[in-house]
Amino acid sequence: GPTIVTSPGATLTVTFTNSLGANPAGTVTANTMHSPNTVNLHTHGLHVDPAVDSIFVEVEPGESHTYAYQLPSDHHPGFHWYHSHHHGSSTFQVMGGLVGGLRVEPSSASDLPTALQAMARVTMVVHHIALDNSDTSTDPFTVWTYTDLHVRVGATDSIGASYSDSSVTDAWAVNGQYQPQHAMAPGEWQIFDVVNAAGDRILELEINTALQTVDVGDPASVSTATTSGECSSYLLAVDGIYLDTARSGPHVDHLVLVQAQRVSLAVKCDTAGTYFLQTAYSSSVTNYEAASVQNLV
């Protein structure tokens, strides 16, 4: 979905229209997957009335619902996200891409340092699509394939997917695109606002000059990313809250985002060339998950 931008003290009004077809007929049982075409809108990070940001709202096919979020005047600036959270179909809908970025801008020039406010910002909503899962031991976050979810939730529409590379069985998309490109000038600082908009996979990020596919082990003991020094990365904010002091080092070079987590990273690459913002794999971080390594951008 589109990146929504708002500001402290504003009333954010969103009219959400459900243009999906009718739900399949059948009995709805609590705590089971059902109603694939019933949706709603839920935000992560906004300090707003929970009665407005309610996961119990049900927008049925053909209906509309208007959300009016009143942000407090002292709301922190930061990056957040939203997704559909209808109980019974949210896993299916999140993996299907009903997600988006949400940014609260500074209310005044004093809210953030001038240097940060001058940097270009890039929204990266990263979501995971499981095409084939051969590892069923992913407790507590079972990775259902999209086909599994399609069947379990009772969806009747055809997925209609075709794959140009059948070896890709575990895909990540950025802003709904598979491996998009992004251009930066050498020496230019930009802020990457990144959210792991997935309910199943932990996301481990690195920036490398070539795609790294090996288990990096313990990120604390080895600097795994940007080993040749062309790029610098600083962690500015976590879950929409800016840090008192920007962080760098191994745990930023190999950055771990759990499900639904957001970060803001200041990134600069001094030398012209091609770089890979990629998912990486550390067995010391996700020892219960199958390795998931892919170029993102």
Which residues on adjacent β-strands are paired with residue 124? 194
pLDDT of residue 158: 78
pLDDT at residue 225, as a whole number: 44
Per-residue pLDDT at 139: 58
Strand-strand pairing, 262-269 and 78-83: unpaired
Rounded Cα gap, residues 21 and 133, in angstroms: 29
What count of other Cβ atoms lies within 10 Å of the Cβ of residue 4?
17
H-state helical runs in 104-181: 114-118, 146-152
Q: What share of the chain is helix, strand, coil (3-state, %, to 5)?
A: 5, 30, 60
Within 13 A of 215's CA, how many CA atoms are on the CB side?
A: 11
Residue 2 DSSP one-character state = P
| Ordered mean pLDDT values, 10 residues apiece, the chain (297 residues) | 96 96 86 91 96 96 98 96 94 92 91 92 93 61 79 82 74 92 96 94 90 76 54 96 94 92 96 92 68 81
Amino acid sitting at position 10: A
SS3 at position 277: strand
Strands (E), the chain: 4-6, 11-17, 42-44, 64-70, 78-83, 99-104, 120-130, 170-174, 190-196, 203-208, 231-238, 241-247, 255-257, 262-269, 276-279, 294-295
Tokens of 256: 């771990």
Nearest to 106, CA basis, from 190, 195, 191, 6:
6
For residue 268, the one-letter residue type is K
State residue 226's pLDDT score: 44
| pLDDT (0 to 100) of residue 221 | 61
Q: Which pairs with CB-CB distance under 8 Å and at least 24 residues apart come from 62-65? A: 62/18, 62/19, 63/17, 63/18, 64/15, 64/16, 64/17, 64/18, 65/15, 65/16, 65/40, 65/41
Tokens 């950025």, located at residue: 174
What pLDDT is attached to residue 195?
98
What is the Cα gyration radius of the chain? 20
Q: Which of 255, 258, 263, 295 is nearest to 279 (CA)?
A: 295
What residue type is assigned to position 89 of the chain?
S
How confident is the model at residue 132, as a pLDDT?
74
Total-model pTM: 0.91
Joined tokens for residue 27: 């009995």
> 31 Cβ partners below 8 Å, 6+ apart?
none
Within 10 angstroms of residue 1's Cβ, the number of other Cβ atoms is: 17
